[in-house]
Amino acid sequence: MDDQAWYLRTSKLALALAIIRSKPADKSSREYTEHLARMVSGQESKWRSKVEALEAEVLQLRQKLLLSRICSGSFESGDPSCQLQAQEPRSSENTSTLLEDSGCDLSSEQRSEPSEKTQHFGESCTPTPFLPLSIVKGPRDSLQKPLSSHMQFLQHLLGLKTLTKSGSLKTDLSHFENASSTVSDSVFQLLDGLITFYQELKLPCSSFWTEAVDTLARLISDCNLSNHILKRCSKKLEEFEKTLLQVILRNSHINRFQVQQYVSQSLVTLGSCSLLRKSIISLLLSEVNSFADDLGTINQVQASYDVTLYENIFSVFWVLEQLLQKETEEGNTSKIGHEDQEIKKFLQKHDETILQLSDAFPLFTLYLWRLGILLNSVEIGTIENSLS
């Protein structure tokens, strides 16, 4: 027996003896042990909350310091365009964009369009002060408050990139210690809050969350910032993508269509970033391929199927169409059709699946056919770009 194992066994024995000797007469050893465990657990929870609160304050100070130092550096270098573009998250009381109703689609007049982002130019290079970062954990409705500071920081960062002459923070970030970790930590915290929000999504929703997804997409689209963010947050991003997909597929509420429209649009917004689009397309196609296989089996044995899941899959089709159209418009040279296994599987079984399911599931096969056209157009566009 090594020293560590011996020490652990001895410590457990000593703890057991101490509990037995100190237990009250009216309690058994088991009851007293459980009582002590609850006390220790409660103290641990309090200390954990204090640590999280301090970490939140430290991150907020790091955010302010980074923005101040970047802006001061621009000023010292003689850059006249160092004023900070400040944008505060919109108030949730005035920006509810979706109202729960019978599930019918909104008319074009009712749909909320993203408002133009307002630019405020300060007289100096000092960043606009942050809103206080709330460190008290409350119910789901107050989730937006602790994330407001992260949103402001990331939007200020994007504003600085837009206003500086170089249009790049690559050099600036390299000058400041832990600068990249401040950015990635802020993104990680924002992703964590987004996952919690979408897992418990209820209408109406503040535009804060739509704006948060848009900010993430713009940050990761930046070639200099994306490297820092993806190193720290790649798994969290995958978790967020899967969360959005599961919200679409597993929702069985009778009025779920408003929620699905909201979440589907969030996926499209996230997929506007070319670095994320490929993984999102692959994730969605994996679900389509799996569902098509299940329908094929069901059709052969004439078994019943999940009608709710069948209806929900059409929201996935819609997102896929939007992202593939975006891919075609941009003329990406990522060779997405040649490398991705899920796309290969879809195209290889495309014609066979349509023939097999067209009689029993005509609407499903129609969407499969449309997806096939889009995927083939992406492949053709990729080949043409590579030859030109």
Q: Is 96 helix (H, G, I), strand (E, B) or coil?
A: strand
Of residues 173 and 196, more confidence is placed in 196
- Across the range 95-99, mean pLDDT stands at 37
Of residues 96 and 293, more confidence is placed in 293
Q: Is residue 284 included in any domain, yes or no?
A: yes
Mean pLDDT check: name the lowest of 141-145, 241-245, 350-354. Answer: 141-145
The DSSP symbol for 142 reads G
Q: Is 116 helix (H, G, I), strand (E, B) or coil?
A: coil
Cβ-contact 152, 88 below 8 angstroms: yes
Q: What percentage of the chain's residues is helix, strand, coil (to nearest 5)?
A: 70, 0, 30
78: phi > 0 → left, psi -120 to 50 → alpha, else beta; which? left
Cis amide prior to 204 (ω within 30 degrees) = yes
Q: Is residue 243 included in any domain, yes or no?
A: no
* Rounded Cα–Cα distance for residues 136 and 49 (Å): 9
Q: Is residue 225 included in any domain, yes or no?
A: no
Q: Is residue 213 included in any domain, yes or no?
A: no
Of residues 27 and 114, more confidence is placed in 27
Domain region containing 330: 273-388
Structure tokens at 321: 């169409």
The single residue listed with the structure tokens 């850059």 is: 79
- Across the range 357-380, mean pLDDT stands at 88
Q: Is residue 286 included in any domain, yes or no?
A: yes
Cβ-contact 371, 320 below 8 angstroms: yes
Instruction: Residue 326: name the closest of 177, 217, 174 by CA.
Output: 217
Q: Is residue 282 included in any domain, yes or no?
A: yes
Q: Is residue 192 included in any domain, yes or no?
A: no
- Say whether pLDDT at 380 is over 60: no
Residue 162 confidence class, pLDDT cut points 50, 70, 90: low
Q: What pLDDT does 93 receive?
A: 39
Cβ-contact 267, 245 below 8 angstroms: yes
Q: Is residue 106 included in any domain, yes or no?
A: no
- Across the range 69-95, mean pLDDT stands at 48
- Across the range 168-191, mean pLDDT stands at 73
- Say whether pLDDT at 5 is over 90: no
- Total number of domains constituting the chain: 1
- Across the range 269-284, mean pLDDT stands at 93
Question: What tens digit of pLDDT does each residue of 239-257 get?
Answer: 999 999 999 999 888 878 8
Of residues 321 and 202, more confidence is placed in 321
Question: What tens digit of pLDDT does each residue of 36-46 get?
Answer: 777 777 777 67
| Predicted structure pTM score | 0.69
